[in-house]
A and B are shown apart, each in its own frame.
Chain A
Amino acid sequence: MLQQSSLTMKNVAIAGEEIESQKSRGSNADRIFRIVTASFAGAVLVILLIMVYEMVMQSVPSITKFHWDFLTKSSWDAVQGEFGALPFLYGSVVSSALAILVATPLSVGTALFITEIAPKSVGNITASLIELLAAIPSVIYGLWGVLVMAPWLQKTVQPWLVDHFGSTPFFSGAPYGVSMMAGVLILAIMIVPIITSISREVLLAVPQSQREAAIALGATKWEMIRMAVLPYGRSGVFGGVILGLGRAIGETMAVTMVIGNTPQISLSLLAPAYTMPSVIANEFAEATSNLHSSALMEVGLLLLIVTLIINVFARLLIWKVTKGAKGGGV
């Protein structure tokens, strides 16, 4: 009996040693793993810092020359060496904001159709078709926009708008086709897939018990959506909208092709406009003077800052919206 127990003790001791040695081997591996992953994560941060640093340094000639005039002046003249970026800032912010206004109801409506109204098979097919839209390269949207949509706007939509609403500042002037309106529409089409698919996932995550609660109170389908589905998913849907806005503000190719590329600020949606990414893409190759390329760099910096502000603002809004409601989010 005694022998047996000492034997057991010995076994336990051996087992203990094994665990000990395994532990040291394991913690070694963990340490290496930690260092490797940390350096990967650090590399991303370093790249970001280098980029920001370089952008700031290269912008210095432009910043020291124009100061705040860069943000408030509207003349952009490479020959005279005058650079004011306000039209690009205006073009980017307005085109993206309007695109969100157009795309959000469309996307949320589509997501509601897929999750709440359509039979499962139809919903699934619609969802995958819409996700396919997101895979189309933006240059193709641009090509379609400039060859098909812009002429259609010029010949059909815009003349009608001029006839009926031409007296308002928003639809005054000659119909060119390529315009702020074309930019807004192409952006809206491009961000519908992302907002739709995020909204769809958020709505699918609304528990069935929430729908049943509304239905059992005698809600119609629409009332159920308004009462149980949308409030539960609102923060998630909002997150999708912000992602769409992020995409819209950085979108370059398609917008460049249809927005007209004229550095001016006009309330009219029919007038051509210009965006920050577009001017960078259009002019970087021909920027011969130091000041010109520095000004373009500063536009890039501005774009970065605007994107950051939108993201911070969005996070604040999401936080505010979700604070009261403990519903689902992304």
Chain B
Amino acid sequence: MNGKVTLENMSVHFGNNHAVKNVSMDFAAHSVTAIIGPSGCGKSTLLRSLNRMHDLVPSAKVSGTILVDGKNLYDRSIDPVAIRRKIGMVFQKPNPFPAMSIYDNVVAGYKLNSRMNRAVADEIVETCLKRVALWDEVKDRLKSSAMDLSGGQQQRLCIARTIAVQPEVILMDEPCSALDPIATLKIEELIEELKERFTIIIVTHNMQQAARVSDSTAFMYMGELVENGATKKIFTTPEKKQTEDYITGRFG
């Protein structure tokens, strides 16, 4: 076990509902890991436990061990706020802050961490927007509302906002499910580039997307991890019958 993020017998309960069951797996650094599976299989729940988003839900309980760089994520000494700065997240629906300009959206996280320095902020905005390939489209209207952007642009803005905090890991929860095919393609190209700097874990129920963007794939079903391994292997020679059935479209 020497991944960036390591799960050992990890479970998530919501009250009596055992949503993620005893999952053990590794997420390698500087690679893209896709988690696939039918709706309700616990893939988003698993993802959200990796940056302690479940802390917001009183009934949620995470047990087992999640190690990030060898440190237990749920240890008492760990500050969840600090963890979330290290492990960023992009959500299913683009959620820029509507009251903020494009510029302010990008630096929203930076402003939390440090005293606002205009020159530094300008530079962060430019680099991050360039990295998500949005710069050319918005450089003349950085002060206008983020809501003036299209859905795909908003999602790229949200990714820029996430990388502006300089996290090490980026969690993506079906980041293209609200986007059209062209916007989806752009995000996928972006993921490919981002993995040089970040460790990316992406939840998707689009199997083609998993096959296109990921290095390794984990298949979950009914809260359990059925199989995980190199994406190529999962999609060509899966070991488990369930995986094969899902990938060939026989259910889910």
Contact = CB atoms under 8 A, between A and B. Distances in A.
Contacts of B147: 326
Interface string A300-330: 0000000000000000000000001111000
Q: Which of A207, A211, A216, A228 has the largest number of chain B CB atoms within 10 A?
A: A216
A303 to B, nearest CB: 35
A209 B84 contact: no
Interface stretch (A37-45, A103-111, A178-186, A218-226): A218-226
B81 A220 contact: yes
Nearest to B101: A324
A146 to B, nearest CB: 44
A213 B95 contact: yes
A209 B96 CA distance: 9
Interface string B74-109: 000000011011001101010111111000000011
Nearest to B94: A209
Categorize the interface residue count of chain B. 20 to 34
A217 B165 contact: yes
Interface string B159-175: 00110010000000000
Contact of A324 (B93, B95, B145, B165): B145
Contact of B109 (A217, A220, A234): A217
Given A216-B51, A218-B82, A218-B85, A210 B97 contact: yes
Contacts of A217: 84-85, 88, 108-109, 112, 161-162, 165
Mostly, the A contact residues are helix
Nearest to B96: A213
Contacts of A211: 56
B53 interface: yes
B99 A234 contact: yes
Nearest to A324: B145
A45 B58 CA distance: 52
Contact of A216 (B88, B96, B100, B145): B88
Contacts of A216: 51, 53, 84, 88-89, 91, 162
B158 interface: yes
A254 to B, nearest CB: 37
Contacts, number: 75
Contact of B97 (A119, A218, A223, A228): A228
A212 B53 contact: yes
A189 interface: no
Given A216-B88, A217-B88, A231 B112 contact: no
Nearest to B111: A227
A232 interface: yes
A232 B81 CA distance: 22
Contacts of B93: 209
A121 B85 CA distance: 31
A218 B81 contact: yes
A215 interface: yes
Contacts of A207: 95
Q: Which of A218, A228, A231 has the largest number of chain B CB atoms within 10 A?
A: A218
Contacts of B113: 218
Nearest to B113: A218
A231 B145 contact: no
A119 B56 CA distance: 11
Contacts of B97: 210, 213-214, 227-228, 231-232
7 contacts: A209-B91, A211-B56, A217-B108, A220-B81, A228-B97, A326-B98, A327-B99
Given A214-B97, A217-B162, A324-B145, 7 more contacts: A207-B95, A210-B95, A213-B91, A215-B53, A217-B84, A223-B112, A327-B98
Interface of B: 51, 53, 56, 58, 81-82, 84-85, 88-89, 91, 93, 95-100, 108-109, 112-113, 145, 147, 158, 161-162, 165
User: Lowest 5 CB-CB distances: which A-B pairs, in order?
Assistant: A218-B85, A231-B99, A217-B109, A325-B99, A216-B89
